[in-house]
């Protein structure tokens, strides 16, 4: 099975953001997905659909994402506004407390899409109500599990981003720990970098954003996020019974291809 991991599109209503047009970047990504990976089953977008969370941005985002030739599962991030998102996408499922989190079955396991947004901070949150939903979903799932969230529940080594990770990571881990053997991979966004690794025995990956990236600044301070305009990318994920393979596709790269 193949699916696409897209994240941090940061669309705005009009104009440019950090010298780039995020809606045009999203349009190019959608065209690339349709053209090169039209056999993918679906797209999962792990949050920050918009930059300011305003209605005009969601309208523009909607026009671009609707061009996909496959279903898109949308999640909220710290730059999103849950109410404005709900007005633009009323069909997106929520849990019993109104959080934008849901689950669905695939041939290789259950996909759990989590809502880590804190309306008061750019850091994440996973409150007891959301934990209860996740605990119930995990208990009701017998097979493999794939987790999707915006904020990482661990430090990635960039000080300013580690200040706005998921702060209640221990309680989050306590919920998933009894099921760890069945969690095949954790996908996240927020960091605007390609990151691959392992956290407490759980493999994980993150993709670049589409408009701007966080620079690899491992000696920076906690109060400034150094950024750049490295090429945008999305993830092409291949699943089988015994393997999870995540390819980073820098779809805007125009370097010449040749045969070795």
Q: How confident is the model at residue 168 (pLDDT cuts 50, 70, 90)?
A: confident
* pLDDT tops 90 at residue 103: yes
pLDDT in tens, 239-260: 999 999 999 999 999 999 999 9
Taking the domain 2-249, which CATH number applies? 3.60.21.10
* pLDDT tops 90 at residue 144: yes
**Surface-to-core class of residue 42, CB atoms within 10 Å of its CB (0-12 exposed, 13-18 middle, 19+ buried):** middle
Q: Which residues contact 124 (CB under 8 A, 6 or more apart)?
A: 78, 116, 117, 118, 149, 150, 151, 164, 165, 166, 167, 190
Mean pLDDT on 144-164: 98
CA-to-CA distance for 11 and 2, rounded, in angstroms? 26
Q: What global pTM score does this model have?
A: 0.97
Mean pLDDT on 81-109: 98
pLDDT in tens, 44-70: 999 999 999 999 999 999 999 999 999
pLDDT of res. 49: 98
Q: How confident is the model at residue 163 (pLDDT cuts 50, 70, 90)?
A: very high
For residues 152-190, one letter each, b for 16 or more C-beta atoms within 10 angstroms of the residue's C-beta and e for the rest, the string is: bbbebebbebeebbbbbbeebbebbeebeebbbbbbbbb
């Amino acid at each position: 099975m193949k699916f696409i991991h897209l994240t941090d599109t940061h669309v705005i209503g009009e104009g440019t953001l950090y010298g780039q047009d995020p809606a045009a970047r999203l349009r190019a990504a959608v065209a690339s997905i349709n053209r090169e990976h039209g056999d993918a089953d679906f797209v999962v977008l792990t949050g920050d659909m918009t930059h300011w969370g305003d209605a005009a941005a969601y309208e523009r985002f909607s026009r671009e994402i609707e061009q996909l030739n496959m279903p898109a599962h949308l999640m909220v991030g710290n730059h999103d506004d849950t109410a404005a998102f709900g007005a633009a996408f009323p069909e997106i499922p929520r849990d019993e407390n109104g959080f934008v989190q849901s689950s669905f079955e695939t041939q290789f396991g259950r996909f759990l899409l989590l809502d880590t947004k804190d309306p008061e901070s750019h850091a994440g949150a996973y409150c007891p109500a959301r934990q209860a939903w996740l605990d119930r979903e995990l208990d009701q799932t017998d097979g493999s599990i794939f987790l999707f969230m915006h904020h990482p529940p661990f430090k990635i080594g960039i000080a300013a981003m580690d200040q706005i990770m998921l702060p209640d990571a221990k309680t989050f881990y306590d919920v998933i720990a009894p099921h760890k053997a069945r969690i095949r991979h954790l996908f996240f966004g927020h960091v605007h970098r390609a990151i691959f690794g392992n956290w407490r025995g759980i493999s994980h990956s993150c993709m670049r954003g589409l408009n701007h990236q966080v620079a690899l600044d491992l000696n920076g301070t906690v109060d400034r996020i150094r950024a750049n305009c490295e090429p945008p990318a999305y993830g092409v994920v291949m699943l089988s019974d015994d393997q999870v393979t995540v390819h980073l596709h820098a779809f805007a790269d125009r370097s010449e291809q040749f045969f070795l």
